[in-house]
Amino acid sequence: MRLRNVKGAKEKIEGDDYTIKLPNEKKGIWKDVFGNDNPIHIEIGMGKGKFIMELAKKNPNINYIGIEKYSSVLVRALEKRPELEQDNLYFIRMDAEDLNEVFEEEEVARIYLNFSDPWPKERHAKRRLTSVQFLERYNKCLDQDGLIIFKTDNRELFDFSLEQVELAGWNLENVTYDLHHSEYAEGNVMTEYEEKFSKEGKPINRMVIRRKRG
């Protein structure tokens, strides 16, 4: 994925009050950051932030953390942050591989994965955010009833993800190959990509999986 460089993005991120600069120092104490015991939901690869911003507005009793690897993308989310009146949303610029350096065991209640990079080459399969390797990372930080909600327009990635869920021993709660024409469409919050793809008539795949026990 080729990204357009945004001049001054790193400086804006460094000066932003809602971007956590040393997230590994918050491991195990994220409730102190938010000042409450509300459940923590995270989005990995949040893009420009439309999805997580809308969730934060609708659910003031849930704490949200948006994770984005690229400064030039994260800075666009920061531009939207002033629209949110409550303090239940923070951001982290980091690679998802470092997730367990930032969140303690059972510290997260839910993870959202939306239109993740498919990494189409087979040799890059371990980099896919729904690979067995990443599911193991999620399993460590999710609580006992922790969920992952994954949406994508990429059917090959979705089929791969279903295989990985079984291999990793997770539980498949529900699945649809056409979200917007399914029983799960009500209450669905769309991302920027989702709005674009749905207007083009592309079906959206979605699965909800629950962490393995034991």
| 204 and 127 Cβ atoms separated by less than 8 Å | no
> Which residue, among 63, 38, 61, has the nearest Cα to 52 in the 3D structure?
63
Write down the pLDDT at residue 160.
Answer: 98
pLDDT per residue over 160-182, tens digit each?
Answer: 999 999 999 999 999 999 999 99
pLDDT per residue over 59-69, tens digit each?
Answer: 999 999 999 99
- Which residues carry a binding-site annotation for S-adenosyl-L-methionine? 43, 68, 95, 117
The reported pTM is: 0.94
- Which residues carry a binding-site annotation for substrate? 121, 153, 191-194
Other Cβ atoms less than 10 A from the Cβ of 98: the count is 14
- Which residues carry a binding-site annotation? 43, 68, 95, 117, 121, 153, 191-194
pLDDT per residue over 75-120, tens digit each?
Answer: 999 988 988 989 999 999 999 999 999 999 999 999 999 999 999 9
Domains of the chain, residue spans: 9-210
Write down the pLDDT at residue 23.
Answer: 97
Whose structure tokens read 């207007």? 199
User: What is the DSSP pairing of strand 205-210 with strand 108-114?
Assistant: unpaired
The secondary structure of residue 17, as a DSSP letter, is: T
Least confidently predicted of 1-5, 6-10, 38-42, 185-189: 1-5
Check if 87 is active-site.
no
pLDDT higher than threshold 50 for residue 2: no
Which architecture, in CATH terms, is 9-210?
A: 3-Layer(aba) Sandwich (3.40)
What integer is the mean pLDDT of 15-44? Answer: 96
**pLDDT band with cut points at 50, 70 and 90 for residue 157:** very high
More confident: 7 or 148: 148
Active-site option among 117, 145, 159, 178:
117
